[in-house]
Amino acid sequence: MAPVRIAEARVIVCSPDRNFVTLKLTTDDGTVGWGDGTLNGRELAVASYLTDHLSPLLVGREAGRIEDTWQYLYRGAYWRGGPVGMTALGAVDTALWDIKAKRAGVPLYELLGGRSRDGIRVYGHATGATIPDTVADTRRLMEAGFSAIRIQTDTPGTQGAYGVSVPGQVYDPSAGGHLPQETVWHTPSYLRHTPTLFEAVREELGWELDLLHDVHHRLSPREAAQLGRSVERFNPFWLEDPTPAEDQTAYRYIRAQTTAPLATGEVLNSIWGVQTLITERLVDYVRATVVHAGGVTHLRRIFDLAHLYGVRTGSHGATDLSPVSLAAALHLDLAIPNFGIQEYMAHTALTDRVFPHGYRFADGYLHPADEPGLGVHLDEDLAAHHPYERAYLPVARLRDGTVHDW
Ligand code: EZ4
Ligand code: CO
């Protein structure tokens, strides 16, 4: 196949119910590749990184040289890594894989080694202000076909617990406004309350369902060990992000104290950030993503390292990851040997209209589109009707006002 060059790089920032940053690369033979560059609450920094710093380097480059472009933009930057840089690099890498697969005339997973399974098992999100509400929401998802469900509930004694949606709305913790919302966190209440949620769900819905829970980085290693021990008997599928993710060594202590399976990595963006976790087998699932961890090229590298140590994947898939990176995740999930599970929260109807896509959900599984490339597009005219709106993730404080991990 004759090589093609990148003719144009354009960044589209839109807000169809929430903000998304999308990179559109067009080659001189007219092939279009899409990449997601959304970093929740810091979207415009990635847009600028792409427009001001990467796009001028991309125009004129050979589109097929994905690895070389990755190394050029990573090692060649000197100031490398970090969430903004790795998200921007992720957008470029994803768009180049989309182009390569479109030019080859195959869905992306064919270039990654072909299918290793029939579909991508996903987990859904059950939430509620009370435990009975969360049980009812869990039942609703079971009836919709999910066999794995993340359970989160409001904790009495805190204000604005993580993971609880406004009834009837898609869960999205970011909120528009001049300043972030502030929530009040109280660890003792949470440690008392959470095991009662697991107990109620098991009592009402039985033991077939896989139950997940996201601690969202709020505990110390000792507190995390206590939580792990108190829910072990309910057979959790995983406890996610028990402690702040950047401290890999905290997991040595947690691991030694509890057999509850552990998952982390949604906020980590490079193989160096998960190296100790993987090589010391401190977690069971690695949750890094295409969008925040440098694209398909780098995430594949992380997943291959994980495979060597028996760690499986469980990529982040909240609604702040656009349909472009969800599509890319599905192709990678389908191809790798050590796939575990994929997080899935449906986007709003408007987001789905702005990003027409061919992936589909059936019986608890997602299936990527069979068309060439990623199988997702951006309707630029519709996107233009929904411009960027300033929004932030919340900030958490303790009862005495001290800033805590949200
Ligand atoms: O809070 O994606 O497991 N999912 C999560 C998410 C994150 C948001 C942050 O942008 O923790 O809901
Ligand atoms: Co999480």
Query: Which H, E and C letters describe 41-54, residue by residue?
Result: CCHHHHHHHHHHHH
Q: What is the mean pLDDT of residues 109-121?
A: 98
Atom of ligand 1 nearest to the CA of 319: 2
- Within 8 A by CB and 6+ apart from 204, the residues are 135, 139
Write down the number of H helices and E strands in the chain. 14, 18
pLDDT in tens, 364-376: 999 999 999 999 9
What is the percent of the chain with per-residue pLDDT over 90, rounded to a whole number?
A: 95
Does residue 44 have a pLDDT over 90?
Answer: yes
Q: Model pTM greater than 0.85?
A: yes
Does residue 110 have a pLDDT over 80?
Answer: yes
> Does residue 341's CB lie within 6 angstroms of at least one atom of ligand 1?
no
Tell me, yes or no, if 307 is annotated catalytic: no
In the numeric block, which tokens belong to residue 40?
């929740």
In the numeric block, which tokens belong to residue 44?
């415009």
Domains 6-107 and 111-373 alike in fold:
no
Q: Quick one: which ligand is closest to 150's CA?
A: 1
> Does residue 93's CB lie within 6 angstroms of at least one atom of ligand 1?
no
With CA atoms as reference, report the closest residue to 337 among 314, 312, 365, 309.
Answer: 312
Task: Give the CA distances from residue 213 to residues 9, 178, 231, 242, 272, in Å, rounded to whole numbers and listed in that order.
Answer: 39, 31, 10, 10, 25
Residue with CA nearest ligand 1 atom 4: 318
Residue with CA nearest ligand 1 atom 7: 318
In this prediction, residue 185 has a pLDDT band, given cuts at 50, 70 and 90, of: very high
Q: Distance (Å, rounded) from C-alpha 368 to C-alpha 164?
A: 28
Active-site residue identified among 49, 74, 123, 162? 162
In this prediction, residue 93 has a pLDDT band, given cuts at 50, 70 and 90, of: very high
Q: Quick one: which ligand is closest to 123's CA?
A: 1
Residue with CA nearest ligand 1 atom 6: 318
Distance of CA 336 to the CA centre of its chain: 17
Q: Where are the alpha helices (H) located in 258-358, listed in sequence order?
A: 271-279, 295-308, 323-335, 349-354
Please, are residues 22 and 357 in contact by the beta-carbon 8 Å criterion? no
What is the percent of the chain with per-residue pLDDT over 70, rounded to a whole number?
A: 100
Atom of ligand 1 nearest to the CA of 343: 3
Residue with CA nearest ligand 1 atom 5: 318
The domain limits of the chain are 6-107, 111-373
> Does residue 316's CB lie within 6 angstroms of at least one atom of ligand 1?
yes
> Does residue 317's CB lie within 6 angstroms of at least one atom of ligand 1?
no
pLDDT in tens, 237-272: 999 999 999 999 999 999 999 999 999 999 999 999
The fold of 6-107 is Enolase-like; domain 1 (3.30.390)
Please, are residues 137 and 126 in contact by the beta-carbon 8 Å criterion? yes
The fold of 111-373 is TIM Barrel (3.20.20)
Task: Give the CA distances from residue 236 to residues 15, 207, 219, in Å, rounded to whole numbers and listed in that order.
Answer: 36, 10, 18
Does residue 31 have a pLDDT over 80?
Answer: yes
Q: Which residue has the tokens 């995430």?
A: 299
Task: Give the CA distances from residue 120 to residues 208, 303, 335, 393, in Å, rounded to whole numbers and listed in that order.
Answer: 19, 16, 10, 29
Q: Tell me the one-letter amino acid at 100.
A: K
